[in-house]
Amino acid sequence: MELSAQSDILSMIFGATAVVKVVLAILVIMSLISWTLIFYKLFLYLKVKKSIDNDLASFSASKDLGSALRTLKNRPGSRLYVIGAKAVSEIRSLERSNLPTTGKIKVSADNIRRVLRRSVSNEVNKLAYALSFLATCTNSAPFIGLFGTVWGIMDAFQAIGIQKSAALTTVAPGIAEALVATAVGLFVAIPASIAYNSFLGMLNSIESEFVNYAGEFLNRAQREIPWLSAGREKEEHPTRIAPETI
């Protein structure tokens, strides 16, 4: 009985009009891409969250900012290291600048904060890449399936006109073929919608971890690099981060 039902569905698909077949092909391709993206993003986000947790623990446990960044550098694919390295690059640029120490102090916090914010945004954008495809599947797949359904029903009504009969046996096959397109459209849209919303939640959590790290990085930099502290305005020779830090 189950095999018979599957056979009936396949026969309806192969017996559908060319337009409905094209619609079904588009939906199948969308489904394959979306499921590939779902599994890939799930693996990626879980891996990134675990990596961030480990990196944050190592960063907090390190005795100073230099050793913390060296530890992160030795972790393959550490995103926190990328964020921190760009901030260190900005600190070095300030150190090499011709501004007086008071001038450096005045602009340092805002400059470093902007660099950290931009770095966090870049990392989040990288992780969010291609998520929009899931949103596209969520919004468009039901309508693509509905288009196939409408076309199939139009074909069924044409069959009524040709055969001059409105009997159920005349109309039912065409309508059944048409409704398959709607069912496939929903099959594409529902998993994509669930995955998209779930991934947005995971991405927001990851972004919060990045922001927390950026705040902790700035705090440590201001504590450990004397000229970054407003209370050290009279420092003539600012302490530098060692070149081997990054």
Distance of CA 78 to the CA centre of its chain: 17
CB atoms closer than 10 angstroms to residue 70: 16
Q: Taking the model in full, what pTM does it have?
A: 0.81
DSSP 97: S
Q: How confident is the model at residue 17 (pLDDT cuts 50, 70, 90)?
A: confident
First and final C-alpha spacing in the chain: 67
Q: What is the residue extent of each domain of the chain? A: 2-245
Q: What are phi and psi of 152, to 5 degrees?
A: -65, -40
Q: Report yes or no: 45 and 206 within 8 Å, Cβ to Cβ.
A: yes
Q: Give the list of residues 6+ apart from residue 78 with CB closer than 8 angstroms, or none.
A: 51, 55, 72
pLDDT of residue 16: 67
Q: Which stretches within the chain are classed as H helix?
A: 2-14, 18-61, 65-73, 79-96, 101-128, 131-163, 168-224
Residue 60, pLDDT > 60, answer: yes
Question: What percent of the chain is predicted at pLDDT more than 90?
Answer: 50
Residues 6+ apart with CB under 8 A from 199: 41, 42, 45, 131, 134
Tell me how crowded residue 169 is: count the other CB atoms within 10 A of its CB: 8
DSSP state for residue 228 in the 8-state scheme: G
- Whole-angstrom distance, CA of residue 225 vs CA of residue 99: 17
Percent of the chain with pLDDT over 70: 78
Express each pLDDT in 130-143 by its tens digit. Answer: 999 999 999 999 99
Query: How confident is the model at residue 55, as a pLDDT?
Result: 94
pLDDT at 135: 95
CA 219 to chain CA centroid, Å, is 29
Nearest by Cα to 15 from 165, 173, 150: 173
CA–CA separation, 16 and 8 (whole Å): 12
Model confidence pLDDT, tens digit, residues 168-193: 666 666 677 778 888 899 999 999 99
Neighbours of 150 (CB within 10 A): 15
| Residue 239 DSSP label | -
- Specify the residue for token string 């018979």: 4
Question: What does the pLDDT look like over 76-95, one tens digit per residue?
Answer: 889 999 999 999 998 888 87
